[in-house]
Structures are given as structure tokens and as C-alpha cells.
Amino acid sequence: MKATRTLHDMGQSLWLDNITRGLLTSGTLRRYIQEFSVTGLTSNPTIFDHAIKNSPDYDDAIRQKVREGKSGEALFFELAMEDLTQAADLFRPIHDQTNGVNGWVSLEVSPLLAHDTTATIAAARELHARAKRPNLFIKIPGTKEGLPAIEEAIFAGVPINVTLLFSREQYVAAAEAYLRGIERRIAAGLNPDVASVASLFISRWDVAVMGKAPEELRDQLGIAVAGQTYETYLALLSSPPWQRIFNAGGRPQRLLWASTGNKDPKAADILYIRALAAPLTVNTMPEATLKAFADHGVFGPTLPAQAHHGEAVLARFTSAGFDLGALAAQLQDEGATSFVKSWNDLLECITSKSTTLKKAGSSNTTTNRPN
């Protein structure tokens, strides 16, 4: 049995952190579902930027949309919707079979709206409605400005993937925003069954302290933060406020491990997958990491068994002079800035490709014009 199947059977969902048109048209994503127990996927602007920039797979669609007068952000969202609705349809049987626990795909609102709560809410509602798929998450960052948008989107019945979380405290704030949205639905007599995941970023912790922390603590900080957050996650789900919404027909907001591709060449390529094995969570993996784990994945102790060790690791980082709260805030700010850069790079790519393809089309028309 493949390690991916073992992980799935243990109670963790495996989602792919990638989407390209080639993955869909080649049947590769379908194969990952069948062979690697993949039950969902996530996307982001960087993923789409690389997919569009490095492949001709989108060229025909871009040519057609340019002829229709579309450009920039509007053109991108049409391309993304085409990919993600096709992926959502592939995952729909899993979504139905698991009663909405799995089978999800994710689309991010424009990060340029990160400091505009009202515009973020409007974009989330509009994108989800356009997709016409029940298994599409809209990604909203769990920043200070994003939290009210998360609450309002959940109250409006829009499934949300809360992104850009780095610490237990940031996770709790996102979980409380979700809970408030569900409690408001219950008070208004609405169905409280609105799905959400809270995405905790892992590897960026270790990148941030690389070369600054004691060598014996190398690649341990992200896993320790995950263990601390997982304990809090389980405690929240067993607390009276959450039990009340479960009793009313609500569901848990699941904890998702994001940024689980290893960035340290000295460490195992499956470092974070092996360490973050934990029931009732999602691990969204880059494609190379997924294939590596399917090929040579092995298990150590599951995450709950490592909690005590994780607290000791966090204490050692604090003793070494690291302000982990400040670092979490810094990572979230840097992540938001990085998302904006990725978004601008993506729109620049769209504009460049549109211009190139339009010129090529005009040139061909001139060349083929009869004498």
C-alpha cells in the first residue's frame, strides 16, 4: 500500500497544491486521485503565473478572450474558473461521498483587496456564485482586515479557505471569525453547514530562522508551531461553543497544513509530510512532494505524540532570543506582500501573453490575406 493511502486511511486529507491546464487535459490529476488518494487541491496566483507563463496550454483560450475584448484581471479569472470548475467536477464524487469533507478546490480573491474588507466580501460572494460549484473554497487571508471578511462571507454561506496563518494565535483569531459567522447563521435561522479550512503555513518559519538558530534546532520550528496549533485546534473543537454549533448542524473548520514543500536541501524531501501526520487535518502538498511521499514515504510518531517535544522546541527558540509572536506577525505581513507581488507578476504575464498572441494573430492574418 502506498504511503499516501496509509496517510489518507489514518484520517488526514491529501490535497494537491497545484493546478495547470496540462494536469487536467493529460489525465494526470485524475491519476493522482486514483493512485495517490488525492482528495482536493489548492491554487494561488504564483501557481497560475507559472502555469500560464511556462506553457502554451492557455494560448488558444487567451487568444479567444482577447478577441472578445477581455484583459487583465477579468481575463485571468475566466481562465482560473475554467480550470477550477473542471477540477471541481473531477472531485465532485469525492465531495458527495464524504458529505463535503473532501473534494474541494480553492480560488483566491485578489490580494490587492487585502486591506478592503467590504471589497473582499463582495469579491468572495461574486466568485463563488460565478463558479456554480458547491465544492469551491474562496481563499481570504487571515489578516486583521481579512477577519471581518471571513466572518461576513461565512454568514453569507460562502465556503472559505482562510490563508496566511502562521501561529496558534492567528489560527484562533480565524477560527473565532468562522465561529461568529456560523453562530449568526444559527441565530438567523439559516443552515449552519458552511465549510471552511484554516491554512497554517509551515516551512516559512524554518526559512526565516535558517542560519540564525542553533544548528540542532534546524527545521524544527515550523513543526513545533504546527504541534502547538494542533493541540489548540482539538481543544477548540471540544469546547462548548463549538459543540453547540455541531449540535445545531454545523461542522468543524478543519486545520490545513500549507507550505509543506521542504526548502532545506539538507533535509528529507518529505520532512513536513512525515512530521505532520495528524487525523482531522488536511495536508496540501506541492506536486513534487506528493510524488516523493508516494514513492518513499515513511512514518514516525504522529503529530499528537510529538506535542510535548514541540513545546520544548518553542521554549528553546524563545530562550535563544527569538520573539515568536513578532516573527509570526512579520511572516504574515511578508506573506501578504508576497501575494501582491505574485498577483502583479501574474497580471503582467497575462498582459504580455495577450499582447504577443494578438500581434501574432494580426501578423498571420496579414500574411494569409489574398493578393
For the residues 159-174, what does the mean pLDDT come to?
98
pLDDT at 129 over 80: yes
Contact (Cβ atoms closer than 8 angstroms) between residue 81 and residue 131: yes
Read off the DSSP letter of residue 304: G
What is the rounded CA–CA span in Å between residue 297 and residue 290?
Answer: 9
For the residues 240-260, what does the mean pLDDT come to?
97
pLDDT of residue 366: 46
Give catalytic status of residue 139 as yes or no: yes
For the residues 113-139, what does the mean pLDDT come to?
94
* pLDDT-derived band at 308, boundaries 50, 70, 90: low
Architecture of the domain made up of 3-356: Alpha-Beta Barrel (3.20)
Neighbours of 138 (CB within 10 A): 23
* pLDDT-derived band at 114, boundaries 50, 70, 90: confident
Q: Would you give the distance in Å from CA 237 to the centre of its chain?
A: 21
Helices H / strands E in the chain, number of each: 16, 8
pLDDT at 182 over 80: yes
Cα–Cα distance list, 133 to 42, 44, 89, 92 (Å): 15, 18, 8, 9
What is the rounded CA–CA span in Å between residue 334 and residue 71?
Answer: 28
HSE of 57, CA atoms in CB hemisphere, 13 A: 20
Cα–Cα distance list, 119 to 105, 123, 125, 151, 263 (Å): 22, 6, 10, 14, 34
> Which residue out of 53, 65, 70, 139 is catalytically annotated?
139
Contact (Cβ atoms closer than 8 angstroms) between residue 18 and residue 47: yes
Q: What are phi and psi of 332, to 5 degrees?
A: -65, -45
Cell of 26: 493529460
* pLDDT-derived band at 370, boundaries 50, 70, 90: low
pLDDT at 115 over 60: yes
Contact (Cβ atoms closer than 8 angstroms) between residue 96 and residue 103: yes
DSSP helix/strand/coil, 137: strand
Q: Which amino acid is at 357?
A: L
Instruction: Record the pTM.
Output: 0.94
Extended beta strands in the chain, E state:
12-16, 38-41, 105-108, 136-141, 160-165, 196-201, 254-258, 281-285
